Amino acid sequence: GYKYMQRITANKINRGDFDLVLELHYNAAHPTANGAEALYYFRNKKGRVMAWWFSDKMAQKMGYRSRGAKALVNKNDRGFWAVLFPNPTTLILEPFFGTNKEDVQRFDASVYVSVILNLIRKYQSLK
């Protein structure tokens, strides 16, 4: 199941020397749903800062709506185990809704990569 697979993945991550883990996703929902968001473990203060930064920067650079940072609080939250089990700060980055034509058309992979690289630099500055 999902929880089991996330534990296996986290065990591999935790054997490494990582400070930050980024899961790259995109949302899918109703065709009118739009925007960028990032999910983080609710007790991780750096994760919260970085999740807000990502969401706001994607909105600024791509013209999306910032859906903000989403704190994952309990085991029923989608993605909870992915951000709980790893020792490093872990974020689930959701830059757009794949079910929204306008979001998809605005998406620019080079801008996305630039935002991620700047997110990593910003995270390093928080140490």
Per-residue model confidence (pLDDT) at position 26: 86
Question: Would you write out the chain's pLDDT as a tens digit for each of its 127 residues?
Answer: 999 999 999 999 999 999 999 999 989 999 999 999 999 999 999 999 999 999 999 999 999 999 999 999 999 999 999 999 999 999 999 999 999 999 999 999 999 999 999 999 999 999 7
Per-residue model confidence (pLDDT) at position 59: 96
Q: How far apart are CA 42 and CA 77, in angstroms?
A: 11
pTM here? Answer: 0.95
